[in-house]
Amino acid sequence: MALRLGDQPGSSFVARKLAATRRLFVASPMYLARRGTPNSLADLGQHHIIGGPSDADDQCWTARRDGLTHVQPVHPRVRTRSAVTAVACASAGLGIAIASRWMCADELASGALIEILADYRLDPATAFVVFPAGRRPSQRARAFSDYLEQVLARSD
C-alpha cells in the first residue's frame, strides 16, 4: 500500500479517498514586511513565487473568489517538487507559496507563516491510500488506512 497526495491514481491501482484539506496562499511575516501583502491574485505578478509540487508543471495559479475563477500567470523564483521544501522556503522569507493545511499547520500556529489572499479558494489537497489492482488488501493494511483516515480528518 502507498499514500498518495494529489490526483486520484490511474486504473492500475485501487484507491480509497481518505480526506481532503484546504490549500492556502502563505508567506512569512518577514517577506510581507519587505515586499507588501498582495490584495488580489493579480498582485502576485509583483511578488516572488515559490513553485511547489502541485504546480511544478503549471505556469499559472488558479483560484476562485465570489463565484469567479481567476488565473494568474506565475514565474517562480524557486521551484521544488517537495511540499516540505516549499513551506521551508516560504518560512525563510523567500516568497509566496501554496501549501495544504496539513503541510503548514505548525508554521501557521507558530506565526512563521501567515495565510494571505484568504478570500480566494484553491482546489483542495486530497489524500488517497493506494493498493495494487487485483489484490485484496490485507486486514492490517485496511486497519492502517482506517487509522490514517481518522488522523487526517482530525488534522484539518
Give per-residue pLDDT as tens, 4-40: 877 776 667 788 888 888 999 999 999 999 999 999 9
Q: What percent of the chain has pLDDT over 70?
A: 93
* Same domain for 103 and 52: yes
Q: What CA–CA distance (Å, rounded) separates 3 from 19?
A: 11
What ranges in the chain are assigned the alpha helix state H? 29-35, 83-91, 101-110, 139-154
Run of H or E including 27: strand 23-27
pLDDT value for 56: 55
Check: CB of residue 20 under 8 Å from CB of residue 147: no
* Same domain for 79 and 41: yes
Give per-residue pLDDT as tens, 58-73: 688 999 999 999 999 9
Q: What CA–CA distance (Å, rounded) separates 125 from 22?
A: 6
DSSP state of 9: P
What does pTM read for this prediction? 0.83
Residues 6+ apart with CB under 8 A from 3: 18, 127, 128, 129, 130, 148
Q: What's the domain count of the chain?
A: 2
* Same domain for 146 and 76: no
CATH code of the domain in which 139 resides: 3.40.190.10
Check: CB of residue 74 under 8 Å from CB of residue 44: yes
pLDDT value for 121: 96
* Same domain for 139 and 67: no
pLDDT value for 13: 79
Cα 41 to the chain's mean position, in Å?
A: 17
Which residue do the cell numbers 511547489 mark? 52
CATH code of the domain in which 47 resides: 3.40.190.290
Domain holding 119, by residue range, is 23-123
Above 70 in pLDDT, residue 139? yes
Average pLDDT over residues 96-116: 95
Residue 29: count other Cβ atoms within 10 Å of its Cβ: 13
Between 156 and 96, name the one with better pLDDT.
Answer: 96
CA–CA–CA angle 113, 119, 122 (5° rounding): 75
* Same domain for 78 and 142: no
How much is the mean pLDDT over the chain? 90
Residue 113 binned pLDDT confidence (cut-offs 50, 70, 90): very high
